[in-house]
Amino acid sequence: MPSKDAIFDILDEWGDTGNYEEAYQQIQREYRIYMPSRTKRDAGGRRLTYRNVGQPKPKRKLSAWNKFVKANSKKKIYKFANGKLKLKKMGIAFRKTRAGRKK
pLDDT in tens, 26-55: 777 776 666 555 566 666 767 666 555 566
Contact criterion met (CB below 8 Å) for 85 and 77: no
pLDDT at 48: 66
pLDDT at 61: 93
Distance between CA atoms of 20 and 22, rounded to whole angstroms?
A: 6
Contact criterion met (CB below 8 Å) for 98 and 64: yes
**Average pLDDT, consecutive stretches of 10 residues, N- to C-terminus, the chain (103 residues):** 66 73 73 61 66 68 92 90 92 83 57
pTM score: 0.43
Distance between CA atoms of 32 and 72, rounded to whole angstroms?
A: 56
Q: Could you give the percent of the chain with pLDDT greater than 70?
A: 61
Distance between CA atoms of 11 and 4, rounded to whole angstroms?
A: 10
